[in-house]
Amino acid sequence: MILGAGMVGITAALELQKRGYSVAVIDRRGPGEETSFGNAGVIQAEAVEPYAIPRDVDVLLNYALGRTNDLVYDWRALLRTAPVLLSYFRNSAPKQHKQASALYSQLVRRSTWDHEPLIEASGQHNLVQKSGYVHAYRSEKAFEQARQRADALAKNYGVGVKIEDGEALRLSEPALRRTLAGGISWTDAWTCTDPGGLTAGYAKLFIRRGGQMVRGDALSLRKTSAGWSVDTEEGVIDAAQAVVALGPWSADLLARLGYRLRMLLKRGYHGHFDSAIALNRPLMDAENGIVLSPMSRGLRIATGAALVDRDSPPVLRQLNHGEKVAADLIELGPRIKEPQWYGHRPCLPDMLPMIGRAPKHDGLWFDLGHGHQGFTLGPTSAVLLADAMEGKSEPLLSALAPAARPSVLL
Ligand SMILES: Cc1cc2nc3c(=O)[nH]c(=O)nc-3n(C[C@H](O)[C@H](O)[C@H](O)COP(=O)(O)OP(=O)(O)OC[C@H]3O[C@@H](n4cnc5c(N)ncnc54)[C@H](O)[C@@H]3O)c2cc1C
């Protein structure tokens, strides 16, 4: 049984099913209705280096003084998560970050390749575009720095990059109202106009192939003599093996099983706008910490990170600022009325997803902590998880295994 029907859980279910296992997915909601619903929709084959905490003093000072839109925080939440943040900060040092990137890049570089057969088999080509993703810069200084970093990523990891100066960017994105300093076009990235829809479509494929999708409460998971049981709307479900893929809620279940998972939740919001002229690709307004993604339900503005308690009420400062600055770039149109969405990137402080056997329980597996790129990494993590469950061993699996991460899983 897989606990959690986000992109990570559904793709794990599909992979195990493909290898001949009988699989049930348990979720309290429908598939792809939480974090996998509301993201920016980019399958980020370019994101070879995981998102580190900046170590530049000026940047940190700007964060502390609330001068940026890409990160806001609540002091009390910050204090409560201090040990996780400290560990994340330490792992963001150049040497540790380089080591993490060497592993992370192996995952993201194959992500589109792992999505492809699922997109094909679920018949969802209409939701996925293969024309890349662009980071746009307003100032020459920021553009120049980004260009240098992009050149390094192209050289070190073979990432596809096209540099567009202000004129070229305006030509490739006629919806832009004015000429910016320039853009970095990440040509390997794929983008999706309905991330929740893609996840739900993968779930339909899983059901069509004989999988079972059931509503139930993962927190009812308990050990039995034969394996694991969970309560669902269709009665008790038993399985020899259970996989925790609960995204931002994973730590809740793990705590009941005697583990302390250090997870940092970075909240993000989105809103949709009925814009008359569409962007051709998702565009990150890098200096304002927002991504503008053309979606089937309108132009989606997705925000950066808010370090707040998971269950605290929404505060729309970043989204409102995002709306203001985006209106300066394109004809936004009116905001589409809908319930306010927000979700949490489930980040582990060593910036790697945790995939593999639970250290203290037989038949229990983890596939969680995908942070900023879970929509990208679901299918790739699924292959690694299934390999681990089948007893394969390789250096990448060992590095991602829960047992190898004593500072993250206590
Ligand atoms: C604003 C924003 C933008 C992002 N943009 C991108 C992007 O462009 N590209 C990218 O790759 N990633 C992006 N991400 C990150 C990505 O969305 C997440 O990493 C990914 O969705 C996590 O998937 P998941 O399956 O682990 O979690 P989820 O999709 O949250 O799935 C977890 C599931 O567990 C279920 N659950 C929880 N508790 C219980 C319980 N007690 N019982 C039963 N079920 C339960 C939930 O209902 C949910 O369905 C973004 C995130 C945010 C917030």
Ligand 1 pocket test: which of 34, 108, 191 has the largest number of ligand atoms within 8 Å of its C-beta? 34
Binding site membership of 376 for ligand 1 (Cβ less than 6 Å): yes
Does residue 60 carry a pLDDT above 90?
no
Distance 248 CA to ligand 1 centre (A): 7
pTM of the model: 0.98
Percent of the chain with pLDDT over 70: 100
Does residue 65 carry a pLDDT above 90?
no
- Cα separation of the two ends of the chain: 24
| CA of 253, closest atom in ligand 1 | 41
Query: What DSSP line would sit under 98-115, residue for residue?
Result: HHHHHHHHHHHTTHHHHH
CA–CA distances in Å: residue 25 to residues 16, 111, 182, 244, 344:
11, 22, 45, 10, 21
Q: Which amino acid is at 321?
A: H
Average pLDDT over residues 220-248: 97
CA–CA distances in Å: residue 223 to residues 47, 227, 230, 255, 361:
38, 6, 9, 15, 9
Sequence-distant (≥ 6) Cβ neighbours of residue 60 within 8 angstroms: 54
pLDDT digits (tens, 9 = 90+) for 291-334: 999 999 999 999 999 999 999 999 999 999 999 999 999 999 99
- Which of 62-66, 201-205, 218-222, 320-324 is predicted with the least confidence, judged by mean pLDDT? 62-66
Distance 340 CA to ligand 1 centre (A): 16
- The pLDDT value given to residue 321: 96
Binding site membership of 282 for ligand 1 (Cβ less than 6 Å): no
- d(CA 310, CA 77) in angstroms, rounded, equals 9
**b/e code 243-265 from CB counts within 10 Å (16+ = b):** bbbbbbbbbebbeeeebebbbbb
Protein residue with least CA distance to atom 31, ligand 1: 6
Binding site membership of 369 for ligand 1 (Cβ less than 6 Å): no
Burial of 54 (0-12, 13-18, 19+ CB in 10 A): middle
Binding site membership of 6 for ligand 1 (Cβ less than 6 Å): yes
Name the DSSP letter for residue 313. Answer: P
Q: Report the SS3 class of residue 305.
A: strand
- d(CA 188, CA 377) in angstroms, rounded, equals 14
Binding site membership of 111 for ligand 1 (Cβ less than 6 Å): no
- The pLDDT value given to residue 392: 97
Average pLDDT over residues 120-137: 97
Protein residue with least CA distance to atom 26, ligand 1: 247
